[in-house]
Amino acid sequence: MITYDDFSKMDIRIGTIVSAEKVEGADKLLRLEVEIGEEKPRQLVAGIAQHVADISALVGKQIPILANLESRMLRGVESQGMILAASDEQGIVLLHPVRLLTSGSKVK
């Protein structure tokens, strides 16, 4: 169990995907550019490529991201956050708001 104070440290925001492509040499990884209300889009690397039928269809979609996660290199590509998704025995599903929000909107 974590406390509310622990949860409140997470900066979860709604981001709008502005580009998506496979990471060269990696079957599972996608490189996403995500607008979260900052000067330039964030680059995120996500292990969802095998669960996305049409990668180009991700552009324009809104997803929740963990914006204050420490950056990490994955296959030579810097990931500046983490997408939030759900999974079950059928695979991974991206989460989306039910209506269009301003990029960078906080998730509470």
Parse the chain into domains and list their residue ranges.
Answer: 4-94
Give the pLDDT of residue 96. Answer: 96
Give the integer Cα–Cα distance in Å for 59 and 7.
Answer: 29
Give the pLDDT of residue 64. Answer: 98
Give the pLDDT of residue 18. Answer: 98
| Residue 86 contacts residue 95 (beta carbons within 8 Å) | yes
Give the integer Cα–Cα distance in Å for 99 and 86.
Answer: 19
Which CATH superfamily is 4-94 part of? Nucleic acid-binding proteins (2.40.50.140)
Give the integer Cα–Cα distance in Å for 41 and 91.
Answer: 27
Which phi and psi angles does 57 have, rounded to 5°? -70, -10
Give the pLDDT of residue 94. Answer: 95
73-84 in b/e form (b: 16+ CB < 10 A) is: eeeeeebbbbbe
Summarize pLDDT for 14-25 with one digit per residue, the tens. Answer: 999 999 999 999
